[in-house]
């Protein structure tokens, strides 16, 4: 009987030692870790990838993300640069970035190109009501669109932007037609004023008929009646050199008054000049005899 008791106690001791050893082994062994996966994507994007991964598990086959109006470029380990990855075996908490490219349809391209086509964008100036030089009208626009032009006055501004300044200011409507692919085209209108060409006056163009530049002493008034060759020109005149005291000039009425009982004779030069162009003139020399002297 005593032998049986000793045997039972031995078995119990062995079992307890085995249990303690098992517990010690379990506590001293390495346990599997769980890592967190974070996916940075734009608002509205969706995907079906796991957000955690247990160490020792299979590699993760990354699923594509989707976002309305965009194509998916792939998952990356950084916001910029690098190459896309399709699988990952984390070694710790991991962050991935999803990148997308906007899908530009023909309709979107035409709409946005029309909005981007402004006068300043191609004319280089906000001035639209005083055009004086040729325009660089663009033939291509945003997102690979094409632009064609029509002019309501091709003499003043051609469809290629060549400007021919008229004799009077001219208003021209330039119409840009924007197209791409199968989308309906869009038009943008620019109402432009082409400034009149300046009147170029040279000495040869200011011709005075001697018959229209006369003297009259019967009423003691010298009349300078000046008629320019161009009816659009106006002229002014002045006495050049020393003017006698008895000679009074009035440029408003284009007249010179001779005071009575004054010096009986004087020689002077009358200069007729185009107003606004003082360097364009003709000089004529006159000798006046005062009949009342």
**What is the rounded distance in angstroms from the CA atom of residue 141 to the CA atom of residue 145?**
5
pLDDT reading at 124 higher than 90: no
pLDDT band at 29 (very low <50, low <70, confident <90, very high): very low
- Indicate whether 80 pLDDT > 70: yes
Third-level CATH fold of 203-289: Immunoglobulin-like (2.60.40)
The answer on pLDDT for 28 being more than 50 is no
User: 3-state SS of the chain?
Assistant: CHHHHHHHHHHHHHHHHHHHHHHHHHHHCCCCCEEEEEEECCCCCECCCCCEEECCCCCEECCCCEECCEEEEEEECCCCCCCCECEECCCCCEEEEEEEEECCCHHHHHHHHHHHCCHHHHHCCCCCCCECCCCCCCCECHHHCEEEEEECCCCCECCCCCECCCCCCEEEEEEEEEECCCCCCEEEEEEEEECCCCCCCCHHHCCCCHHHCCCCCCCCEEECCCCCCCCCCCEEEEEECCCCCCEEEECCCCEEEECCCCCCEEEEEEEEEECCEEEEEEEEEEEEECCCC
Q: Is the pLDDT of residue 217 over 50?
A: no
CATH 3.30.750 fits 34-102, yes or no: no
Please check whether residue 44 is in contact with residue 67, taking contact to mean a CB–CB distance below 8 angstroms.
yes
Tell me what the mean pLDDT of segment 59-74 comes to: 97
Please, which pLDDT band fits residue 257 given cuts at 50, 70 and 90?
A: low
Reported as a pLDDT band with limits 50, 70 and 90, residue 280 is low
Task: Return the pLDDT at 210.
Answer: 41
Q: Give the list of residues 6+ apart from residue 19 with CB closer than 8 angstroms, or none.
A: none
Cα distance between residue 17 and residue 33, in whole Å: 30
- The predicted pLDDT at position 228 comes to 41
pTM (2 d.p.)? 0.55
Question: Is 293 a residue whose pLDDT tops 60?
Answer: no
**From 10-24, 213-227, 278-292, the region with the lowest mean pLDDT:** 213-227
Mean pLDDT of the 12-17 span: 64
Q: How far apart are CA 161 and CA 140, in angstroms?
A: 14
Task: Report the pLDDT value the prediction gives residue 126, as an integer from 0 to 100.
Answer: 83
């Amino acid at each position: 009987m005593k032998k049986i008791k000793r045997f039972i106690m031995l078995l119990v001791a062995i079992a307890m030692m085995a249990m303690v050893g098992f517990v010690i082994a379990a506590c001293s062994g390495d346990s599997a870790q769980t890592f967190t996966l974070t996916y940075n994507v734009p608002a509205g994007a969706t995907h079906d990838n796991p957000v955690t991964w247990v160490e020792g598990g299979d590699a993760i086959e990354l699923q594509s993300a989707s976002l309305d109006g965009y194509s998916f470029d792939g998952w990356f380990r950084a916001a910029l640069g690098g190459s896309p990855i399709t699988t990952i075996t984390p070694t710790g908490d991991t962050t991935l970035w999803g990148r997308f490219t906007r899908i530009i349809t023909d309709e979107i391209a035409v709409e946005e190109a029309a909005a981007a086509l402004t006068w300043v964008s191609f004319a280089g100036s906000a001035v639209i009501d005083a055009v004086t030089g040729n325009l660089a009208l663009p033939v291509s626009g945003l997102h690979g669109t094409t632009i064609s032009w029509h002019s309501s006055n091709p003499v003043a501004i051609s469809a290629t932007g060549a400007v021919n300044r008229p004799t009077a200011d001219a208003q021209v409507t330039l119409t840009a037609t924007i197209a791409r692919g199968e989308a309906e085209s869009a038009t943008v209108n620019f109402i432009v004023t082409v400034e009149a060409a300046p009147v170029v006056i040279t000495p040869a163009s200011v011709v005075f008929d001697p018959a229209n530049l006369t003297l009259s002493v019967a009423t003691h008034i010298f009349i300078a009646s000046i008629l320019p060759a161009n009816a659009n020109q106006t002229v002014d005149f002045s006495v050049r050199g020393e003017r006698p005291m008895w000679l009074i000039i009035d440029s408003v009425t284009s007249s010179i008054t001779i005071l009575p009982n004054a010096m009986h004779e004087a020689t002077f030069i009358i200069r007729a000049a185009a107003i606004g162009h003082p360097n364009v003139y003709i000089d004529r020399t006159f000798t006046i005899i005062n009949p009342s002297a």
